Structure formats: C-alpha cells, structure tokens
Amino acid sequence: MVNITSAHQCFKQGDIAQAEQMYRQILSENKNNVEALWGMGRVALTFNSYQRAYELFKRCISLNSTLKQPKYLLSMSEACLYLMRFEEAEQALLAANKVNGGSVATFTALAIFYCEMGDFIQAGTFIKNILKIVPANVQAFCLLVRCKKLTLANNSEREFVDDMFNKLTLSTSVLTKREKILLHFSFAELFHENNEFEKAFSHFTLANALQRSLINFSVVDMKDYFDGLLSSFTHSTFQQLEPDLELAETHKQKLIPIFIVGQPRSGSTLLEQMLIGHSAIDSGGELPFMAGDIAKGIYQLTGKHFPEGASLLDNKQCRILGEHYLKNLQTLAPSSKYIIDKMPANYQSIGLIKLILPQAKIIHIKRDPIDVSWSIFNNHFESLEPYFCSLIEIGQYHHLYQKIMDNWQAVLPNFVHHISYEKLVETPEVEITKVLAFCKLEFQSNCLSMAGSKRYIRTLSDIQLREGIQKNNEKKWLSYNKYLQPLFDALNVTS
C-alpha cells in the first residue's frame, strides 16, 4: 500500500510525476482520502490547472469540515488568487486564521494578501501579529520594508533594523540563503530611501551575488536558444503556414487575448493596470501558459521542442494549441472578451502567437536600457535567471532581447504595437488611447484612475502603482553611477 507521507515527500523533493502517481493510487483505494485530494490539488497548481486545483481543494474542505485543516484553506486561497476570485480568497484566509487561532503561516498569508490588495493598514496589523510570535521573523521584516512601514529616520525603527542586521551577520548558519537574499534587498531599499547609496549598493550587490550563486547557467548559454528563435521564425515560416483566418474570425466573437511583452521592469504592470480600467478588459496577470502548456503541446504534436517544433506545426495543430490556450484563459474571467496575459518573456513567443492566435493583440512596452537594467538589478525576482542578478549579464540579455524584437519587426510588421514607457508616463491619455485603438476599443477615463486603487497587484510594482502614474522613475541609477561601469560596457552605452 502506498503511504501518503511518502507521496508528500516526493512532491516536496520536486518529483511531481511520482507524487501524482502515488496520490492517484491512494485515491483508487479511497476516493475520499483528503490528504491525497489535497496532494492532487497541489499537483494541479504546479501544472497551472487552476480550476482543477480549486475544485480539489473545495472537496478537501467539504470532506474535512469537522477537523478544518488550515492548510486546505490556505491552498484554496492560492487557487482563488490565480482564478482572480479575490473575495473568496480572503474568506478562505480568514477562515484558516480563525481555525487555528492565528499562526505565523496564516498571518503571513494574510499580510501578503492585503499588501497586494493595497490595504497596507490591514497588512501592517498582521505583520505585527507575526512579530509578536517571532520578533526577528525575516519575512515580516521584509514585508514592513515593502509596505513602507519602516524608515531609518526613526530612531526606534533604526534599532529594529540594526537588530535584523545583527541577525544576518551573526546567525549565518541559521538563516537560509533565500532569507539572506531577502534581507539584503530589504536593507538596500532602506538605505536607498535614506540616501545612503554606498551602503544600499553594497546590499544590492550582496543580494544579487547570493542569488547568482544558485544559478548554474549563464546568459551566454542562452545564445543557442535565441539563435533557434531567429532560425525558426523567418519570412518563409509564415508564408508556408498561413494563419487560419476563419478560426481567427470565430475567436474574435468570443475572446481576444492581449499580450503585454518586453523586459521585466519596463512598465508592463503600469500598462496592464491602465488597461483593466476599461470596462471590456480583464487581466490574468503573468500567465505561464505559453512557456508551459503550449510549449509542452508543441513537443507532443511535433516531437520537437520550442522553438524548432513551432515551425513544424500545421494548421490543425495550430488550431488545437490556440483553442487550448483560450480555454485556459477563459477560466480566469469567463465573461470577459479581452483578457491580458502580461508575462514579459512572451516576447520570445510572438511568432508562435501569430500562428496559433492570429486574433491576439500584442503590446510591446520598452524603456530606457539603463533605467530598466538598473531596476532589474535592484529588485528581487523569485525566478532563478542570470539576467536578473548580474550587471554584465543583464546587459548581455538586453542585446538578445533587442535582436529578437528586431526580427519580429522584420518578419511580422504591424502585428505588434510598440509603446515607450517614458511616453506613457508623460502623456498617458494619448498613449493609452493609441493602445486601445490598436485593440479596436474606445478610450475610457477610468484607464487613468489608479491612485488609491484596491485592485489586486501581484508584482514588484504593487506599492508604487497605488500612488498613481509616476513621472520620477527615470534616471534613478544616477545615484549609483560610479558603480555601474560594467553595465554601461555590457550595454555599449556611455553614462
């Protein structure tokens, strides 16, 4: 008989396929085994099957109504967030908190939720609850910094920061590498806000160096992949396989995806939040579908991985992939005709999008190379990518990105609408009107109303965007100019 503990251990170790097989075997013997259902829900989340995960977690909760395990409710809230059911997510979090009388796990989940909803007062309440239980909790400290609840100008708060710094320097064996990374980024942010730029840069550098040590490949290693994009999507690719225009016309009557693409930190969240002010547009956020399900589908259909496999697709296969993407997208906002997918890296998939979703609208947002590169370096990304944490590799990656965008402009002219971040913040109504016109929509004034918004924002820009459109985000790197020569050299620019 399969042991549920062993199945959970497989999942924890990253052997998702083996864990799924074990969960299925347990459920074949007892279809109401709550732990196995919960495990299958976590597997579904891993594979981006959000609706399936939601249904499994809901079943767990109904079967477990007397014991009321908080972890089932916390998992339910996670599925709800992916499905944009924010009220239901909040209810699940509050129920979990009520069940166990409050724990670090539930307080943390609630603090993050309210922070991302823009309710910083509520977030602060739960952060304080965490610190009452664990006075030196790393995540609570970092959340305080993120919510702008700490300042070095306040003596008592500076003492708290000093205590956390001592924890970082004296307890190296206790802290995980991830905790050290988060603390260094938080210290850097505090010193930056206090105009102590030398100390800030030191912590930015330490944080990024630690994160870089977790990555076993370089941007140089990515060159073959980008060369494959160029060779797989040429003029002849689109001449040989004309898009299914009949299918595109059918899709237009149902759902039109809007892809916002570009480099990270280029203003994609700002553009997304402006667009969802329009009554016809909703957003799924940064969706993994193109790099996940669709890439997997290409391999299953052609026997070749993306990008090579994409050039081998026929019209029938393109139809299958397009329908699959739209089905996943529609579950996020069933009544919406326009839904945004703002995964920046989808710029790599513009040719594929043209083949499987010819009705899609693609918006490419670009930003000054130094500004965007510095913004990448001074923010923490969960993804382990070398172009997030090395000044030189950020510059190298920028050239690969630009080469791909130049190729799309050459082989697919007029398929992509290009917008400048700088112009968007300078003349927002003019620029957003152009974007909406590209999407065949009229301008609505709500697209300019973001200050004080209680929309859910799950990106690094969540706090900043609550303050409305910012016109002071350019040239922030000037305070660090003397440290950035490696970046300037990699970008082939002068400071």
Give the CATH number, domain containing residue 338: 3.40.50.300
Mean pLDDT of the chain: 88
Q: Is residue 472 part of a domain?
A: yes
Q: Is residue 25 part of a domain?
A: yes
Residues whose CB is less than 8 angstroms from the CB of residue 343 and which lie 6 or more positions away in sequence, other chains included: 259, 261, 286, 287, 288, 290, 291
| pLDDT tier at 452, thresholds 50, 70, 90 | very low
Q: Is residue 253 part of a domain?
A: yes
Q: Is residue 194 part of a domain?
A: no
pLDDT number for residue 463: 54
Q: Is residue 428 part of a domain?
A: yes
Distance CA 24, CA 14 (A): 17
pLDDT number for residue 263: 96
Model pLDDT for residues 429-440, shown as the tens digit of each residue: 999 999 999 999
Structural domain for 31, as ranges: 1-101
Sign of the dihedral defined by the CA atoms of residues 262, 265, 270, 272, in that order: positive
Q: Are residues 343 and 484 in the same domain?
A: yes
Total domains in the chain come to 2
Secondary structure (H, E, C), the chain: CCCHHHHHHHHHCCCHHHHHHHHHHHHHHCCCCHHHHHHHHHHHHHCCCHHHHHHHHHHHHHHCCCCCCHHHHHHHHHHHHHCCCHHHHHHHHHHHHHHCCCCHHHHHHHHHHHHHHCCHHHHHHHHHHHHHHCCCCHHHHHHHHHCCCCCCCCHHHHHHHHHHHHHHHHCCCCCCHHHHHHHHHHHHHHHHHCCCHHHHHHHHHHHHHHHHCCCCCCCHHHHHHHHHHHHHCCHHHHHHCCCCHHHHHHHHCCCEEEEEECCCCCCHHHHHHHHCCCCCEEECCCCCCHHHHHHHHHHHHHCCCCCHHHHHCCHHHHHHHHHHHHHHHHCCCCCCCEEEECCHHHHHHHHHHHHHCCCCEEEEEECCHHHHHHHHHCCCCCCCCHHHCCHHHHHHHHHHHHHHHHHHHHHCCCCEEEEEHHHHHHCHHHHHHHHHHHCCCCCCHHHHCCCCCCCCCCCCCHHHHCCCCCCCCCCHHHHHHHHCHHHHHHHCCCC
Model pLDDT for residues 81-134, shown as the tens digit of each residue: 988 899 999 999 999 998 877 789 999 999 999 988 888 888 888 998 998 898
Q: Which residue has the higher pLDDT, 197 or 99?
A: 197
Mean pLDDT value across residues 405-427: 96
| pLDDT tier at 239, thresholds 50, 70, 90 | confident
Q: Phi and psi for 259 in degrees, rounded to 5?
A: -95, 125
Least confident of 32-41, 225-234, 375-384: 375-384
Go through the chain and tell me how many residues it has: 495
Domain end among 84, 101, 118: 101
Model pLDDT for residues 54-84, shown as the tens digit of each residue: 999 999 998 877 666 889 999 999 999 988 8
The pTM assigned to this predicted structure is 0.87
Domain end among 71, 101, 131: 101
Q: Is residue 112 part of a domain?
A: no
Distance CA 174, CA 169 (A): 11
Domain end among 59, 79, 101: 101
Distance CA 361, CA 354 (A): 10
Q: Is residue 166 part of a domain?
A: no
Mean pLDDT value across residues 270-290: 92
| pLDDT tier at 403, thresholds 50, 70, 90 | very high
Q: Which of 322, 310, 324 is nearest to 356 (CA)?
A: 322
Least confident of 27-31, 362-366, 383-387: 383-387
Q: Is residue 458 part of a domain?
A: yes
Q: Are residues 384 and 247 in the same domain?
A: yes
Residue 465 pLDDT exceeds 60: no
Mean pLDDT value across residues 473-495: 89
Residue 466 pLDDT exceeds 70: no
- Give the domain CATH number at 48: 1.25.40.10
What is the arrangement of strands in the sheet containing 256-261, beginning at the earlier edge strand?
Answer: 281-283, 338-341, 256-261, 361-366, 416-420
